Structure 1
Amino acid sequence: MKVSKVLATTSMAALALSLFGGVGANASMNKEMHHTDKSSMNMKSMHTKDKKKSMHMMKMDGLTMNMNSAMPKGLKKDTHAKFHVGEKVILKADHMKGMKNAKATVAGVYKTKLYKIDFKPTNGSKEVKNHKWVVASELSAKGALKAGKSVTVKADHMYGMKGAKGKIVSVNKGPAYTVNFKDKQTGMNIKNHKWLVQSELKAK
Protein backbone atom coordinates (compact mmCIF):
# COMPACT_ATOMS: atom_id res chain seq x y z
CA MET A 1 0.00 0.00 0.00
CA LYS A 2 2.77 2.42 0.96
CA VAL A 3 4.64 1.62 -2.22
CA SER A 4 1.52 2.34 -4.29
CA LYS A 5 1.06 5.75 -2.59
CA VAL A 6 4.68 6.68 -3.23
CA LEU A 7 4.40 5.72 -6.88
CA ALA A 8 1.14 7.67 -7.26
CA THR A 9 2.64 10.76 -5.60
CA THR A 10 5.73 10.58 -7.81
CA SER A 11 3.63 10.20 -10.96
CA MET A 12 1.47 13.23 -10.06
CA ALA A 13 4.55 15.33 -9.32
CA ALA A 14 6.07 14.36 -12.64
CA LEU A 15 2.82 15.18 -14.45
CA ALA A 16 2.59 18.58 -12.73
CA LEU A 17 6.19 19.37 -13.55
CA SER A 18 5.57 18.40 -17.13
CA LEU A 19 2.45 20.53 -17.41
CA PHE A 20 3.88 23.63 -15.76
CA GLY A 21 7.23 23.20 -17.47
CA GLY A 22 5.43 22.93 -20.78
CA VAL A 23 3.49 26.08 -20.11
CA GLY A 24 6.69 27.89 -19.21
CA ALA A 25 8.44 26.61 -22.31
CA ASN A 26 5.52 27.56 -24.52
CA ALA A 27 5.35 30.98 -22.93
CA SER A 28 9.06 31.44 -23.49
CA MET A 29 8.75 30.26 -27.08
CA ASN A 30 5.78 32.53 -27.73
CA LYS A 31 7.68 35.45 -26.23
CA GLU A 32 10.67 34.71 -28.48
CA MET A 33 8.47 34.36 -31.56
CA HIS A 34 6.72 37.63 -30.70
CA HIS A 35 10.11 39.33 -30.33
CA THR A 36 11.27 37.91 -33.68
CA ASP A 37 8.06 38.97 -35.44
CA LYS A 38 8.38 42.44 -33.95
CA SER A 39 12.01 42.69 -35.05
CA SER A 40 11.06 41.55 -38.55
CA MET A 41 8.29 44.14 -38.67
CA ASN A 42 10.70 46.85 -37.51
CA MET A 43 13.25 45.84 -40.16
CA LYS A 44 10.54 45.83 -42.83
CA SER A 45 9.37 49.25 -41.67
CA MET A 46 12.92 50.62 -41.79
CA HIS A 47 13.43 49.17 -45.28
CA THR A 48 10.17 50.77 -46.46
CA LYS A 49 11.17 54.13 -44.99
CA ASP A 50 14.62 53.94 -46.60
CA LYS A 51 13.05 53.04 -49.95
CA LYS A 52 10.60 55.94 -49.73
CA LYS A 53 13.46 58.20 -48.65
CA SER A 54 15.55 57.11 -51.64
CA MET A 55 12.70 57.54 -54.09
CA HIS A 56 11.95 60.97 -52.64
CA MET A 57 15.55 62.00 -53.16
CA MET A 58 15.59 60.71 -56.72
CA LYS A 59 12.81 63.05 -57.80
CA MET A 60 13.53 66.20 -59.77
CA ASP A 61 10.84 68.41 -61.29
CA GLY A 62 8.39 65.66 -60.36
CA LEU A 63 10.19 63.01 -62.44
CA THR A 64 12.34 60.11 -61.31
CA MET A 65 16.03 60.72 -61.90
CA ASN A 66 18.04 58.37 -64.08
CA MET A 67 21.11 57.67 -61.96
CA ASN A 68 22.79 55.98 -64.95
CA SER A 69 22.39 58.89 -67.36
CA ALA A 70 25.27 58.83 -69.85
CA MET A 71 27.61 61.75 -70.45
CA PRO A 72 27.09 63.32 -73.92
CA LYS A 73 29.87 62.56 -76.37
CA GLY A 74 32.09 65.21 -77.92
CA LEU A 75 32.22 67.64 -75.01
CA LYS A 76 35.45 69.61 -74.66
CA LYS A 77 37.00 70.04 -71.23
CA ASP A 78 37.39 73.58 -69.92
CA THR A 79 40.72 73.96 -68.13
CA HIS A 80 40.37 77.71 -67.62
CA ALA A 81 37.08 77.76 -65.70
CA LYS A 82 36.82 79.32 -62.23
CA PHE A 83 36.49 75.89 -60.58
CA HIS A 84 38.52 72.87 -61.63
CA VAL A 85 38.05 69.11 -61.40
CA GLY A 86 38.60 67.84 -57.85
CA GLU A 87 37.96 71.22 -56.22
CA LYS A 88 35.71 71.31 -53.14
CA VAL A 89 32.73 73.65 -53.49
CA ILE A 90 29.39 74.53 -51.90
CA LEU A 91 26.26 74.25 -54.05
CA LYS A 92 24.05 77.29 -54.35
CA ALA A 93 21.63 75.56 -56.72
CA ASP A 94 18.32 74.10 -55.52
CA HIS A 95 17.48 71.84 -58.46
CA MET A 96 16.24 69.24 -55.93
CA LYS A 97 15.59 69.04 -52.21
CA GLY A 98 18.75 68.46 -50.21
CA MET A 99 21.00 70.09 -52.79
CA LYS A 100 21.27 73.72 -51.70
CA ASN A 101 24.30 74.42 -49.47
CA ALA A 102 25.51 70.83 -49.84
CA LYS A 103 29.26 70.20 -49.91
CA ALA A 104 30.40 68.95 -53.30
CA THR A 105 33.39 68.06 -55.45
CA VAL A 106 33.69 69.19 -59.06
CA ALA A 107 33.61 66.06 -61.23
CA GLY A 108 33.81 67.68 -64.68
CA VAL A 109 34.02 71.08 -66.41
CA TYR A 110 33.10 71.52 -70.08
CA LYS A 111 33.10 74.24 -72.73
CA THR A 112 29.48 74.43 -73.77
CA LYS A 113 26.41 76.61 -73.46
CA LEU A 114 23.61 75.49 -71.18
CA TYR A 115 19.87 75.85 -71.69
CA LYS A 116 16.93 76.25 -69.37
CA ILE A 117 13.94 74.53 -70.98
CA ASP A 118 10.24 73.76 -70.71
CA PHE A 119 9.22 70.30 -71.92
CA LYS A 120 6.36 67.81 -71.89
CA PRO A 121 7.53 64.41 -70.56
CA THR A 122 6.96 61.40 -72.80
CA ASN A 123 5.52 59.37 -69.90
CA GLY A 124 2.42 61.55 -69.56
CA SER A 125 3.57 63.54 -66.54
CA LYS A 126 2.69 67.23 -66.36
CA GLU A 127 4.79 69.75 -68.25
CA VAL A 128 8.11 70.62 -66.63
CA LYS A 129 8.83 74.34 -66.46
CA ASN A 130 12.24 76.01 -66.30
CA HIS A 131 14.30 72.83 -66.08
CA LYS A 132 17.98 73.50 -65.31
CA TRP A 133 20.02 72.48 -67.30
CA VAL A 134 20.73 70.74 -70.58
CA VAL A 135 23.73 71.36 -72.85
CA ALA A 136 23.71 72.03 -76.59
CA SER A 137 24.41 68.42 -77.61
CA GLU A 138 21.36 67.29 -75.62
CA LEU A 139 18.96 69.28 -77.80
CA SER A 140 17.82 68.88 -81.38
CA ALA A 141 16.32 71.76 -83.35
CA LYS A 142 16.16 73.38 -86.76
CA GLY A 143 18.45 76.39 -86.80
CA ALA A 144 20.32 78.06 -83.98
CA LEU A 145 19.57 77.24 -80.37
CA LYS A 146 18.17 80.37 -78.76
CA ALA A 147 15.45 81.47 -76.35
CA GLY A 148 11.99 80.62 -77.67
CA LYS A 149 13.24 77.91 -80.05
CA SER A 150 11.23 74.67 -80.20
CA VAL A 151 13.41 71.65 -79.49
CA THR A 152 13.45 67.89 -79.04
CA VAL A 153 15.22 66.78 -75.89
CA LYS A 154 17.92 64.11 -76.26
CA ALA A 155 19.02 64.17 -72.61
CA ASP A 156 18.01 61.30 -70.33
CA HIS A 157 18.65 62.91 -66.94
CA MET A 158 15.16 61.80 -65.88
CA TYR A 159 12.75 59.15 -67.07
CA GLY A 160 10.29 60.66 -69.53
CA MET A 161 12.75 63.32 -70.67
CA LYS A 162 14.41 61.72 -73.70
CA GLY A 163 12.45 62.43 -76.87
CA ALA A 164 10.27 65.05 -75.19
CA LYS A 165 9.16 68.15 -77.08
CA GLY A 166 9.89 71.52 -75.55
CA LYS A 167 11.29 75.00 -75.97
CA ILE A 168 14.28 76.97 -74.78
CA VAL A 169 13.54 79.47 -72.02
CA SER A 170 17.02 80.99 -71.63
CA VAL A 171 20.68 80.44 -72.52
CA ASN A 172 23.76 80.44 -70.27
CA LYS A 173 27.18 80.84 -71.88
CA GLY A 174 28.79 78.19 -69.64
CA PRO A 175 30.98 76.48 -68.63
CA ALA A 176 28.96 73.42 -67.65
CA TYR A 177 29.82 71.58 -64.43
CA THR A 178 29.09 68.10 -63.13
CA VAL A 179 29.47 67.48 -59.40
CA ASN A 180 29.53 64.76 -56.77
CA PHE A 181 27.73 65.64 -53.56
CA LYS A 182 26.02 64.24 -50.49
CA ASP A 183 22.34 65.06 -50.34
CA LYS A 184 21.66 67.06 -47.17
CA GLN A 185 18.17 65.65 -46.74
CA THR A 186 18.70 61.93 -47.35
CA GLY A 187 22.44 61.53 -46.86
CA MET A 188 22.75 59.77 -50.23
CA ASN A 189 25.86 60.26 -52.37
CA ILE A 190 25.08 61.62 -55.84
CA LYS A 191 27.66 61.08 -58.58
CA ASN A 192 28.15 63.24 -61.69
CA HIS A 193 25.03 65.36 -61.26
CA LYS A 194 24.31 67.17 -64.54
CA TRP A 195 24.41 70.20 -64.87
CA LEU A 196 25.36 73.32 -62.94
CA VAL A 197 26.46 76.73 -64.16
CA GLN A 198 29.32 78.64 -62.57
CA SER A 199 27.08 80.98 -60.59
CA GLU A 200 25.55 77.96 -58.83
CA LEU A 201 28.88 77.09 -57.18
CA LYS A 202 30.91 78.87 -54.56
CA ALA A 203 34.32 78.19 -53.10
CA LYS A 204 34.33 76.12 -49.92
Structure 2
Amino acid sequence: MKKIPLLLCIATLVTLTACNEDGTIKGDQTDMNETSTHDDMDHSGHSSSGDVPEGLQEAEEPRFQVGSDAVIQTDHMEDMNGAQATISGAYDTTVYAISYQPTNGGEKITHHKWVVHEELDYAGAEPLETGDKAIIDTDHMAGMNGTEATIESTEQTTVYMVDFTPVSGGDRIMNHKWVTEDELRTP
Protein backbone atom coordinates (compact mmCIF):
# COMPACT_ATOMS: atom_id res chain seq x y z
CA MET A 1 0.00 0.00 0.00
CA LYS A 2 1.30 3.43 -0.95
CA LYS A 3 1.71 5.92 1.93
CA ILE A 4 0.24 9.43 1.52
CA PRO A 5 1.95 12.26 3.42
CA LEU A 6 -0.07 13.57 6.38
CA LEU A 7 0.12 17.18 5.12
CA LEU A 8 -1.48 16.16 1.81
CA CYS A 9 -4.31 14.39 3.69
CA ILE A 10 -4.98 17.47 5.83
CA ALA A 11 -4.95 19.81 2.82
CA THR A 12 -7.40 17.56 1.00
CA LEU A 13 -9.72 17.40 4.01
CA VAL A 14 -9.69 21.21 4.39
CA THR A 15 -10.41 21.64 0.68
CA LEU A 16 -13.38 19.27 0.78
CA THR A 17 -14.93 20.73 3.94
CA ALA A 18 -17.07 23.86 3.65
CA CYS A 19 -17.88 25.96 6.68
CA ASN A 20 -20.65 28.37 7.59
CA GLU A 21 -19.78 31.92 8.65
CA ASP A 22 -19.96 30.87 12.30
CA GLY A 23 -17.34 28.16 11.74
CA THR A 24 -19.69 25.18 11.79
CA ILE A 25 -19.43 22.60 9.04
CA LYS A 26 -22.14 22.80 6.40
CA GLY A 27 -24.24 19.69 6.20
CA ASP A 28 -26.29 18.27 3.36
CA GLN A 29 -27.65 21.28 1.49
CA THR A 30 -30.64 19.44 0.01
CA ASP A 31 -32.98 20.89 2.64
CA MET A 32 -32.11 24.55 1.94
CA ASN A 33 -35.66 25.36 0.79
CA GLU A 34 -37.30 24.24 4.02
CA THR A 35 -38.53 26.89 6.40
CA SER A 36 -38.06 27.38 10.09
CA THR A 37 -39.99 29.57 12.47
CA HIS A 38 -38.09 32.18 14.38
CA ASP A 39 -38.86 30.30 17.59
CA ASP A 40 -37.21 27.10 16.29
CA MET A 41 -33.84 28.76 15.84
CA ASP A 42 -31.00 29.24 18.32
CA HIS A 43 -30.49 32.97 18.50
CA SER A 44 -27.62 33.13 20.93
CA GLY A 45 -26.07 35.98 18.92
CA HIS A 46 -29.26 38.02 19.07
CA SER A 47 -27.84 41.01 20.94
CA SER A 48 -26.66 44.40 19.83
CA SER A 49 -24.70 47.51 20.58
CA GLY A 50 -27.75 49.41 21.72
CA ASP A 51 -27.72 51.71 18.71
CA VAL A 52 -31.18 52.61 17.47
CA PRO A 53 -32.13 53.38 13.88
CA GLU A 54 -32.35 56.98 12.75
CA GLY A 55 -35.82 58.44 13.18
CA LEU A 56 -36.95 56.06 15.95
CA GLN A 57 -38.79 58.15 18.55
CA GLU A 58 -38.45 57.56 22.29
CA ALA A 59 -41.79 56.72 23.89
CA GLU A 60 -43.37 59.65 25.72
CA GLU A 61 -45.33 57.59 28.25
CA PRO A 62 -44.14 53.96 28.19
CA ARG A 63 -45.73 51.51 30.62
CA PHE A 64 -42.18 50.37 31.51
CA GLN A 65 -39.66 53.15 32.15
CA VAL A 66 -36.01 52.92 31.07
CA GLY A 67 -34.08 51.40 33.97
CA SER A 68 -37.11 49.60 35.42
CA ASP A 69 -37.49 45.84 35.71
CA ALA A 70 -39.99 43.61 33.93
CA VAL A 71 -40.60 39.93 33.25
CA ILE A 72 -40.48 38.76 29.64
CA GLN A 73 -43.57 36.83 28.51
CA THR A 74 -42.47 35.68 25.08
CA ASP A 75 -40.01 33.22 23.58
CA HIS A 76 -38.30 35.02 20.70
CA MET A 77 -35.15 33.27 21.89
CA GLU A 78 -34.48 30.08 23.79
CA ASP A 79 -34.73 30.56 27.58
CA MET A 80 -36.25 34.03 27.22
CA ASN A 81 -39.80 33.40 28.48
CA GLY A 82 -39.96 34.20 32.21
CA ALA A 83 -36.60 35.96 32.32
CA GLN A 84 -36.14 39.04 34.50
CA ALA A 85 -35.32 42.01 32.28
CA THR A 86 -34.14 45.57 32.68
CA ILE A 87 -35.57 48.08 30.22
CA SER A 88 -32.76 49.76 28.26
CA GLY A 89 -34.95 51.65 25.76
CA ALA A 90 -38.62 52.42 25.01
CA TYR A 91 -39.85 53.62 21.59
CA ASP A 92 -43.16 54.30 19.87
CA THR A 93 -43.26 52.84 16.36
CA THR A 94 -44.73 50.26 14.03
CA VAL A 95 -43.36 46.75 14.48
CA TYR A 96 -43.48 43.89 12.03
CA ALA A 97 -43.27 40.13 12.19
CA ILE A 98 -41.44 39.13 9.01
CA SER A 99 -40.22 36.21 6.96
CA TYR A 100 -36.97 36.25 5.00
CA GLN A 101 -34.28 34.11 3.41
CA PRO A 102 -30.95 34.73 5.22
CA THR A 103 -28.19 36.11 3.01
CA ASN A 104 -25.73 33.61 4.48
CA GLY A 105 -27.80 30.59 3.40
CA GLY A 106 -29.77 28.25 5.56
CA GLU A 107 -33.45 27.79 6.07
CA LYS A 108 -36.00 30.53 5.43
CA ILE A 109 -36.94 32.32 8.65
CA THR A 110 -40.65 32.80 9.23
CA HIS A 111 -42.47 34.88 11.81
CA HIS A 112 -39.35 36.70 13.08
CA LYS A 113 -40.41 39.12 15.80
CA TRP A 114 -39.73 42.06 15.67
CA VAL A 115 -38.35 44.55 13.15
CA VAL A 116 -39.32 48.19 13.58
CA HIS A 117 -40.39 50.39 10.67
CA GLU A 118 -37.17 52.42 10.93
CA GLU A 119 -35.11 49.25 10.27
CA LEU A 120 -36.50 48.84 6.76
CA ASP A 121 -34.94 50.55 3.72
CA TYR A 122 -37.22 52.72 1.60
CA ALA A 123 -40.29 51.86 3.68
CA GLY A 124 -41.74 55.37 3.42
CA ALA A 125 -43.59 57.20 6.17
CA GLU A 126 -46.73 55.08 6.27
CA PRO A 127 -46.80 51.66 7.96
CA LEU A 128 -46.50 48.67 5.65
CA GLU A 129 -49.27 46.09 5.37
CA THR A 130 -49.33 42.32 5.55
CA GLY A 131 -47.84 40.90 2.35
CA ASP A 132 -45.74 43.99 1.53
CA LYS A 133 -42.03 43.52 0.80
CA ALA A 134 -39.13 45.56 2.18
CA ILE A 135 -35.35 45.37 2.49
CA ILE A 136 -34.07 44.81 6.02
CA ASP A 137 -31.51 47.36 7.22
CA THR A 138 -30.54 45.82 10.55
CA ASP A 139 -28.47 42.93 11.81
CA HIS A 140 -30.34 41.49 14.81
CA MET A 141 -29.15 38.12 13.52
CA ALA A 142 -26.49 36.96 11.06
CA GLY A 143 -27.77 36.92 7.48
CA MET A 144 -30.56 39.38 8.11
CA ASN A 145 -29.15 42.70 6.86
CA GLY A 146 -29.80 43.45 3.19
CA THR A 147 -32.28 40.66 2.50
CA GLU A 148 -35.87 41.10 1.36
CA ALA A 149 -38.55 40.58 3.98
CA THR A 150 -42.22 39.81 3.61
CA ILE A 151 -44.42 41.51 6.20
CA GLU A 152 -46.46 38.90 8.08
CA SER A 153 -48.11 41.20 10.63
CA THR A 154 -48.11 44.87 11.61
CA GLU A 155 -48.64 46.48 15.00
CA GLN A 156 -48.47 50.08 16.22
CA THR A 157 -47.08 49.92 19.78
CA THR A 158 -44.34 50.76 22.22
CA VAL A 159 -41.33 48.51 21.76
CA TYR A 160 -38.59 47.92 24.28
CA MET A 161 -34.92 47.12 24.15
CA VAL A 162 -34.11 44.89 27.12
CA ASP A 163 -31.18 43.34 28.97
CA PHE A 164 -31.82 39.92 30.47
CA THR A 165 -30.22 36.72 31.69
CA PRO A 166 -31.66 33.54 30.13
CA VAL A 167 -33.82 31.55 32.56
CA SER A 168 -31.39 28.62 32.37
CA GLY A 169 -28.48 30.92 33.24
CA GLY A 170 -25.52 31.89 31.14
CA ASP A 171 -24.32 35.20 29.78
CA ARG A 172 -26.57 38.24 30.07
CA ILE A 173 -28.11 39.31 26.75
CA MET A 174 -27.64 43.03 26.29
CA ASN A 175 -29.82 45.36 24.22
CA HIS A 176 -32.16 42.70 22.85
CA LYS A 177 -34.29 44.26 20.13
CA TRP A 178 -37.36 44.20 20.36
CA VAL A 179 -40.05 43.22 22.87
CA THR A 180 -43.53 44.74 22.67
CA GLU A 181 -45.40 46.13 25.62
CA ASP A 182 -47.78 43.13 25.58
CA GLU A 183 -44.78 40.78 25.91
CA LEU A 184 -43.75 42.22 29.28
CA ARG A 185 -45.31 42.21 32.75
CA THR A 186 -44.39 43.81 36.02
CA PRO A 187 -42.30 41.61 38.34
1:138-191 per-residue CA deviation (whole Å, 9 max, x = no partner) reads 113566511110111111101100011120000111111100111112421111
CA RMSD of aligned residues (A): 2.0
Matches within 5 A, 1:34-49: none
**Letter in structure 1 aligned against 2:106:** S
CA offset at residue 192 of structure 1? 0.8
Q: Are 1:159 and 2:139 an aligned pair?
A: no
Distance between the aligned counterparts of 1:78 and 1:140, measured in 2?
Answer: 22
Which of 62, 66, 72 in structure 2 is aligned with 1:91? 72
Give every structure 1 segment of 4 or more consecutive aligned residues whose post-TM-superposition deviation is greater than 4 Å.
141-144
CA offset at residue 66 of structure 1? 5.2
Distance between the aligned counterparts of 2:119 and 2:153, measured in 1?
Answer: 15
Distance 1:122 1:193, change over 3 A: same
> Which residue number in structure 2 is paired with residue 150 of structure 1?
133
> Which residue number in structure 2 is paired with residue 196 of structure 1?
179
Distance between the aligned counterparts of 2:135 and 2:57, measured in 1?
Answer: 23
> Which residue number in structure 2 is paired with residue 110 of structure 1?
91
CA offset at residue 72 of structure 1? 1.2
Any idea what SS the aligned residue of 2:151 has?
Answer: strand
Judging by fraction of residues, say which structure has more strand.
2
Q: Assess if the C-alpha contact under 8 Å between 1:60 and 1:95 holds in 2.
A: no
Matches within 5 A, 1:109-188: 109-141=90-122, 144=126, 145-188=128-171
Q: Using structure 1 for the length normalisation, give the TM-score.
A: 0.66
Q: Using structure 2 for the length normalisation, give the TM-score.
A: 0.72
Distance 1:98 1:123, change over 3 A: same
Give structure 2 stretches of 5+ with no counterpart: 1-38
Distance 1:103 1:142, change over 3 A: closer
**Letter in structure 2 aligned against 1:171:** T
Distance between the aligned counterparts of 1:102 and 1:63, measured in 2?
Answer: 15
Structure number with greater CO (CA < 8 Å, separation at least 6) is 2
CA offset at residue 86 of structure 1? 1.1
Give structure 1 stretches of 5+ with no counterpart: 1-58
Which of 101, 121, 136 in structure 1 is aligned with 2:82? 101
Distance between the aligned counterparts of 1:142 and 1:88, measured in 2?
Answer: 33
Q: Assess if the C-alpha contact under 8 Å between 2:48 and 2:175 holds in 1.
A: no
Distance 1:66 1:105, change over 3 A: closer
Larger-Rg structure: 1
Any idea what SS the aligned residue of 1:170 has?
Answer: strand
Judging by fraction of residues, say which structure has more helix.
1
How many corresponding residue pairs?
A: 146
